[in-house]
Amino acid sequence: MPPRRPVLPTVEDPSPGEASAQPAEPDEFEPFAEAYARPGAESLAAEAAVFGSPEPLPPHLAVESTPPDDDLKIPGRAAGTARGVLEWVGVVLGALVVALLVKQFLFAAYYIPSPSMEPTLTDGDRIIVNKLSYRLHEVNRGDVVVFSRPPNQPEGIKDLIKRVIALPGETIEVVDGRVYVDGGLLLEPYLAVRDGTSGFPLPPGCLDPAGSISRCTVPDGHVFLMGDNRPNSKDSRIFGPVPESDIVGRAFLRVWPVGDLGRL
């Protein structure tokens, strides 16, 4: 008898519609298949192939990204800008108020338009006047003062500047260009030229009898003023003593020209 062939075990394929009893092996390429189904699949798949699938970050390290928003507003920026504008407006208004108060009650700048005070002040000089001086003390002889235009002077003139020569109750005389106050010679080192004349017609406001000449007695509350350029000055010799209440202030500082900056 011929020998029998050994019977080899066979594996039958499952019939159509029947499930295999063997568990399905997970498809290790499934992540790539899903990746290829999304936009940019090629780059994602390549990145996964090289670096592996990214591990999720721990919760405490995860950062939520916020897409850029052109309309995103910074809280408080508008309010801060408005506050800044209001602060600047307040500073400017405050400075203007201070400047007005200073000009009204403390100091004022003046321009010299004539040579009547030469050589002390020349045409074109700029000076500062202290308006507070005579609120603190009396007018002194020799002070250079700015005062309001006397009523008998041209209306185009607002203020004048002259030097105080005689005080209330004093008598002033001019002899040969020299000034005497109550009989004593007044030393005037600020003069450059003496006109050499004697006397002057009695101006209005003096206490002397009508017709008197060459002298004037100053009434109470008034001062007698003269320019340093005696031959070219219209002063109390013409319009008479000036009320102290008409004095604006004392000129104490020349600020222009810069080369002549200094106290008066």
Q: Is the pLDDT of residue 59 over 50?
A: yes
242 contact partners, CB below 8 Å, separation of at least 6? 147, 150, 222, 223, 224, 225, 236
Domains identified in the chain and CATH numbers:
106-263 (2.10.109.10)
φ/ψ of 253, rounded to 5, equals -145, 130
The catalytic residue among 20, 103, 114, 116 is 116
Number of C-beta neighbours around residue 90 at 10 A: 10
Helix (H, G, I), strand (E, B) or coil at 149: coil
Q: Give catalytic status of residue 116 as yes or no.
A: yes
Which element (helix H / strand E) includes 217? strand 215-217
Work out whether the CA dihedral 195, 197, 201, 206 comes out positive or negative.
positive
Long-range contacts of 156-160 (CB under 8 A, 24+ apart): 159/110, 159/248
Query: pLDDT digits over 220-258, tens only?
Result: 999 999 999 999 999 999 999 999 999 999 999 999 999
Query: pLDDT digits over 25-50, tens only?
Result: 545 545 444 544 555 545 544 444 44
Q: Give catalytic status of residue 162 as yes or no.
A: yes
The catalytic residue among 65, 73, 131, 162 is 162
